[in-house]
Amino acid sequence: AQSVTQPDIHITVSEGASLELRCNYSYGATPYLFWYVQSPGQGLQLLLKYFSGDTLVQGIKGFEAEFKRSQSSFNLRKPSVHWSDAAEYFCAVGLTGGGNKLTFGTGTQLKVEL
Amino acid sequence: DVKVTQSSRYLVKRTGEKVFLECVQDMDHENMFWYRQDPGLGLRLIYFSYDVKMKEKGDIPEGYSVSREKKERFSLILESASTNQTSMYLCASNRQGANGNTIYFGEGSWLTVV
């Protein structure tokens, strides 16, 4: 069965600093990979997704992620964090032919210091 | 814009009560999902429906059932609520077909069982 690991439960960065959130997956084939963001008390919003092609994916709000097959990773990055980026971030993997069901990681809570 | 609406944002129920969580989507999506979100555990799939009256168990279906009588509506039912079902419940939907179709989430229903 597929699984997703987000090794960092909490991360604190200063506003304007760069950000990298880690995500590793376990899956036998090439997965479909997603990053979602959840603001407090809200549902999840899709930031970006990868399922084929260019391994560097651009998303909304200035985020990008890079798929590295050799490392089974799909890390999320942003060059300069804004205070409004404080939220919880979830990495997810989708099964090929799996009816679009997603398996989520446990999330990384991002705090931004002003 | 796609809208997934969860009619009840905050509920408090007593142990043993029957609880209905309702979800409606307005984009004619074939697939609908119910996830449960708990701190440190991320999102876990309870049930999935790919068509009217069709359903599949997710990873944690015990203690839950679902109903999908109309395409736009997907209900989660707790037959006899227990305190360990206190959680945030997220409904989601997406279009059937090619893998990687974006899944859209509602804002969540916070359920407290006392």
Tens digits of residue pLDDT in A62-81 = 999 999 999 999 999 999 99
- Taking CB atoms and an 8 Å cutoff, what residues of chain A touch B42? 6, 90, 104-107
Mean pLDDT of chain A: 91
**Cβ–Cβ < 8 Å for B27, B3:** yes
DSSP assigned state of A61:
G
Q: What is the dihedral of CA B61, B67, B68, B73, to 10 degrees?
A: -100
Encoded tokens for B111: 């359920």
A1, pLDDT greater than 80: no
CA–CA separation, A62 vs A78, rounded Å?
Answer: 6
pLDDT above 60: residue B94: yes
| Nearest by CB: B99 against A42, A92, A94 | A94
The answer to whether residue A41 scores a pLDDT higher than 90 is no
On whether the CB atoms of residues A40 and A65 are closer than 8 A, the answer is no
The region of weakest confidence among A2-11, A93-102, B68-77 is A93-102
| pLDDT value at A98 more than 60 | no
Cα distances (Å, whole numbers) of residue A44 to A91, B37, B56? 11, 11, 22
User: Number of residue pairs across A and B with CB atoms under 8 Å?
Assistant: 66
Lowest mean pLDDT among A9-13, B10-14, B73-77, B98-102: B98-102
Checking phi first, is residue B63 left (phi over 0); if not, alpha (psi -120 to 50) or beta?
A: left
Interface touch B42/A102, C-beta < 8 Å: no
Q: Which residues of A touch B90 (CB under 8 A)?
A: 43-44
CA distance, residue A100 to nearest chain B CA (Å): 6
% of chain B exceeding 70 in pLDDT? 95
Which band of pLDDT confidence, cut at 50, 70 and 90, is reported for residue B18?
A: very high
Asked if B4 and A43 come within 8 Å (Cβ–Cβ), the reply is yes
Q: What is the pLDDT of residue A32?
A: 87
Look at residues B35, B33, B27, B71 and name the one whose alpha carbon lies nearest to residue B53. B71
Give the residue-averaged pLDDT of B59-80. Answer: 96
Q: What is the mean pLDDT of residues B59-84?
A: 96
Burial A57-83 (b: 16+ CB within 10 A, else e): bebeeebbbbbeeeeebbbbebeebee
- Would the CB atoms of B48 and A104 count as touching at under 8 Å? no
C-alpha dist (Å) from residue A113 to A5, A22, A38, A86, B63: 25, 20, 18, 9, 41
**Set of chain B residues whose Cβ sits within 8 Å of the Cβ of A95:** 99
Per-residue pLDDT band for B99 (boundaries 50, 70, 90) equals low
List CB contacts (< 8 A) between B94 and chain A: 100
Which tokens go with B47? 């049930």
Instruction: Check CB contact of B4 with chain A, cutoff 8 Å.
Output: yes
Position B79 pLDDT exceeds 80: yes
